[in-house]
Amino acid sequence: MATEIKAPVFPESVADGTIATWHKQPGEAVSRDEVICDIETDKVVLEVVAPADGTIASIVKNEGDTVLSAEVIAQFEEGAVSGATQTQAVQSETEASVEQAAAKTEAGNAPIVERQQVQDQAPAVRKALTESGINAADVSGTGRGGRITKEDVANHQSKPAVPAAAPLSVAVGERIEKRVPMTRLRKRVAERLLAATQETAMLTTFNEVNMKPIMEMRNQYKEAFEKRHGARLGFMSFFVKAATEALKRYPAVNASIDGDDIVYHGYYDIGVAVSSDRGLVVPVLRDTDRMNYAEVENGIRAYAGKAREGKLAIEDMTGGTFTITNGGTFGSLLSTPILNTPQTAILGMHKIQERPMAVNGQVEILPMMYLALSYDHRLIDGKEAVGFLVTIKELLEEPARLILDL
């Protein structure tokens, strides 16, 4: 019985999506809850799974097509091919093909296909590998999680043999251009960043913080912390807790502008900017005033893992009253972060650099970090912005203030 496969129901903030990848083609067997399609939206990549065991009857929306919420993207034939029958058929076909490959090898025509490597692949890929006599280990997978697709096998077959020594004249003077479409996420990020620079009165103030006290505390307690909480003690948890305390003292920095109204938030949801292969994403830590250091570290680590795997949900990135971005992980010494609207401020962390500093009339070499606070001058005055940043500086240079709530 044919049924319709529909796109997921998008949240109100997402108008439409684009078919990014079809992992299954018409006629291919699928199992229940197996990923058959990826849909890319402005914020996340959504996975469409098979509703039951069966086969893909037809594809309505091809790769690159725009789809709306709950729109039909494919036709599905439930129970058309049972999983057990399909598996047995593929195994029989695989064994026969391996025997044929072995026979050809004896004649000097093709290499033997390792049976275990073949059986680890998807049915369609197993068939392509055994028919072509290609070793699975020699094929570079471009599918999710490094899986091999049929296209990978075909591309490997058509790939020309690499010459032992390519002529030098081939590379000299060669000018290559490659034009690829911008992903929806990167387009959306570009639109928001441009809007923030054009629609806000953005200003940036700077300060510097001596990281020696936090580094000493971290080195002293990191092993005990990891043993107790199962999480590594990093610098980000100190900055999140310091920012949370500063937001309590300066409510305007935690507010947002909605039309002609100012919205003061009585909660503290801090977004942490994370770089991914698809672009910049900002997952949000909820109620950071109620979180301890271990919960902050675990939350950031979980979000970073989701970002790398493309598993972040829209709920993970909606909301937020303040944002922290750390360009120091890439070696940035100083920058002016752009507001994540409708928020009115963003804190920029940077690289820790040893510099000579004057301390009590003496020159000392200290690990210093520049801090940058970009803020919307329509709502936040310079006095509040500077006071907010100085508060963070003081809390980080004297960590006991954070612990003792001073």
pLDDT (tens digit, 9 = 90+) per residue, 130-156?
666 777 777 777 765 666 776 777 777
**Sequence-separated contacts (24+) of 301-307 with Cβ below 8 Å:** 301/231, 301/232, 303/272, 303/274, 304/274, 307/274, 307/275, 307/276, 307/281, 307/283
Which parts of the chain have pLDDT scores under 50?
82-90, 92, 98, 101-116, 118-119, 162-165
What is the model's pLDDT at position 391? 94
Q: Which of 23, 138, 381, 405 is catalytic?
A: 381
Q: What is the pLDDT of residues 61-107, one digit of tens each?
A: 888 788 888 888 888 887 755 444 444 444 545 555 545 544 444 44
User: How many CA atoms does the CB half-sphere of 155 hold within 13 Å?
Assistant: 10
Pick the CATH number of 2-78 from 2.40.50.100, 1.10.10.10, 3.90.1150.10, 3.40.640.10: 2.40.50.100
Nearest to 241 by CA among 290, 304, 305: 290
Cα 239 to Cα 237: distance, rounded to the nearest angstrom: 5
- Identify the active-site residue in 33, 376, 377, 405: 377
Taking the C-alpha atoms of residue 359 and residue 207, their distance in angstroms, rounded to an integer, is 17
Residue 360: its pLDDT value, please? 87
Delimit the domains of the chain by residue range: 2-78, 105-158, 184-404
Domain 184-404 = CATH 3.30.559.10: yes
CATH superfamily of 105-158: E3-binding domain (4.10.320.10)
pTM above 0.85, yes or no: no
Q: By the 8 A CB rule, do 291 and 299 touch?
A: yes
Report CA-CA distances (Å) from 262 to 7, 13, 96, 253, 259.
37, 21, 72, 11, 8
Give the CA distances from residue 244 to residues 170, 292, 385, in Å, rounded to whole numbers and listed in that order: 58, 12, 14
Q: How many whole angstroms separate alpha carbon 397 and alpha carbon 377?
A: 27
Q: Which amino acid is at 300?
A: I
CA dihedral 160→161→167→170, nearest 10 degrees, is: 20
Tokens standing for 359?
Answer: 């301390």
CB atoms within 10 A of CB 202: 21
Same fold for the pair 105-158 and 184-404: no
* Catalytic residue status for 350: no
Annotation marks residue 265 as catalytic:
no
